[in-house]
Amino acid sequence: MNRFPSFALSLLLVIAPAVSFAASKTAEKFEVTGYVFTREAVLAPGQVDPKRLTRINYAFANIQNGRMVLGSPADAQNFALLAAMRNTNPELNVLVSVGGWLWSTNFSDMALTPESREVFEDSVLRFLTQYDLDGLDIDWEYPGMPGAGHPFRPQDKQNFTALLKELREQFDAAARRSGKRLYLTVAMGASDDVIANTEMHKVQRYVDSVNLMNYDYYEPGSESITGNHAPLFTDPADPRAVSADASVRAYEKAGVPAEKILLGVPFYGHEWGSVPERNHGLFQTGKAIPGAFLPFSTIDGQIGPGFTRYWDSASSVPYLYNADKKIFVSYEDPESLKAKCKYVRDHKLGGIMFWEYSSDLSGKLLTTIDNELGIGEAAH
């Protein structure tokens, strides 16, 4: 899409209503955002159920030479399949997520100046138009921080805000021209450091949702002990005192309205080895082992004999422990998801976000969300 000449755009902004499309959701309707991460594979028809989602965030587009580009040769075909799903569920919106843990390398340089941001923003509008998408999810991990070793600088804090403000202005102008609303969301880490390196009280003005990544609080190899990787509430015995509830409250204190926060949930678990039997392995020393990342489909009935399921009532999450093999597994299951959906309702959050779709082949977790938040009822 060619950007309007500056004088024409200025005229359009004068005569058009000065309305931002970054609207809040109503309390009765929740967003269910599912990340679809194909790992360069071509999606098959029926692989994604559009009736149980309000948004699909397709992961990931990349940034090259300051522009948003396809992440895989399969993306164009996958975008066409996902866009066609709106015929089945007219309430479904298909967004592309750019960046992620490994592809956040070029965010800091891209966002550095108004000129570099303009190049990116123009490429985004062209990209969304070309592939008939409904918006963009910015997954910069993380402004002002190295993430997986990416370049970063102190100016990222203000540049992140400027990027989102300018994207919102461009999206609103495009919507006034075409009549099609474009969504803008951000994926945010659930830590105080991320909040400190952003201006969330400003950022929230320009985005439709903050997809809060309430998982990986404990990861094998990152911490010296085991722990709940997606606790809903803080366990008093947790030496790090982390939880989704604490993160939500921190983001609200930073200025993000509850209705714009999507509670992030994992469709996967983490596995530690060499874990002593004390407290069934919870908050004990452990080591990273091969295959430590476990999709829910692997955990659910397939992890093998010798594992016992335990429930951390303080945190409202399950965990598994194998005393013979000294293996500890932290994960999400339907019971913990039901508690998190209740939390979303009770705290009037915007909805649920999950990573990621292919880790729940049985559909048990998505069915739980659907049953608790009622997403699929209108679409069925």
Q: Which of 28, 31, 40, 141 is catalytic?
A: 141
Tokens of 236: 């008093």
Tokens of 53: 């989602």
Residue 346, Cβ density class (10 Å: 0-12 exposed, 13-18 middle, ≥19 buried) = exposed
Active site residue 118: no
Inter-residue contact 97 to 57 (CB < 8 Å): yes
Q: Say how far apart CA 247 and CA 189 lie, in whole Å.
A: 9
Distances (CA, A) of 65 to 3, 61, 69, 141, 153: 19, 13, 9, 19, 19
How many whole angstroms from its chain centre is CA 47?
20
Residue 81, Cβ density class (10 Å: 0-12 exposed, 13-18 middle, ≥19 buried) = middle
Q: CA-CA-CA-CA torsion for 174, 205, 24, 119, nearest 10 degrees? A: 30
Inter-residue contact 54 to 134 (CB < 8 Å): no
Q: Can you point out the beta strands (E) in 15-149? A: 31-37, 55-64, 67-69, 93-99, 135-139
Which long-range contacts does 359-364 make (Cβ < 8 Å, 24+ apart)? 359/267, 359/268, 359/295, 359/296, 359/297, 360/267, 360/295, 360/296, 360/297, 361/295, 361/297, 362/297, 362/300, 363/49, 364/296, 364/300, 364/334
Q: Say how far apart CA 31 and CA 34 lie, in whole Å.
A: 10
Coil, strand or helix: which one is 31?
A: strand
Tokens of 155: 């100016």
Q: Say how far apart CA 170 and CA 125 lie, in whole Å.
A: 8
Look at the block and give the residue holding tokens 């298909």.
Answer: 94
* Active site members: 141
